[in-house]
Amino acid sequence: MLNLVLFGPPGSGKGTQSAKLIEKYQLVHLSTGDILRAEIKAQTPLGIDAKTRIDKGELVPDEVVINMISNKLDQNHDAKGFIFDGFPRTTAQAEALDNLLKGKGTSISVMLALDVDDQELINRILLRGKDSGRADDQDLSIIENRIAIYNRETAVVADYYKAQGKLRLIHGVGSIDDIFASLCSSIENN
């Protein structure tokens, strides 16, 4: 199985590149942000609870996203592999993911970490907010909070995969196709 973690701060291009990777490698896409937004739209108790945190740019609790991923893994027995987008965001989530995959006789193949400077992230997120209407993409203080939380709680997750020899750093500024080519070459030279 090819199991990828697509990593990087909000606005680093994970969603855009995921769409291209899924098409090329026929992977199942698991984005915790997308799943949470679907729960909010459907007004489930989980969604209603998560919305207050998402609206402030805070993380939802580890056990909530770990359960979501566990369910999705169970629902996709026949997958050729998975692309994890926006998950894991804490070391506890990374450990839980390793255990879940181990239970299924597989593991993470590689973590692809997109590197983009903070000002570029803010510009991209504000632009995306105009199109998508996402509330957490339209308010500068929420965006800054998300980037701060990334730097404080999420960036360390790269060290977890580095220790396993699985971290690949990708320069995330440039054309979508050039960045995609760098991602593919990291996957194939793995």
Residues designated catalytic: 14, 89, 128, 134, 146
Nearer to ligand AMP, 124 or 168 (CB): 124
Pick between residue 20 and residue 128 the one whose CB is nearest to ligand AMP: 128
Distance of CA 84 to the CA centre of its chain: 6
Closest CB to ligand AMP among residues 6, 179: 6
Chain positions contacting ligand AMP, by CB under 6 A: 10, 32-33, 36, 53-54, 57-60, 65, 86-87, 89, 93, 146
Q: Which is nearer to ligand AMP, 156 or 181 (CB)?
A: 156
Sheet holding 167-171, edge to edge: 28-31, 81-85, 2-7, 110-115, 167-171
Cβ-contact 172, 12 below 8 angstroms? yes
3-state secondary structure 79-138: CCEEEEECCCCCHHHHHHHHHHHHHCCCCCCEEEEEECCHHHHHHHHHHHHHHHCCHHHC
By 3-state DSSP, what share of the chain in percent is helix, strand and coil, each rounded to 5? 60, 15, 25
**CB count, 10 Å around CB of 124?**
20
Residue number with the smallest Cβ distance to ligand AMP: 33
User: CA 150, CA 86: separation in Å to the nearest integer?
Assistant: 11
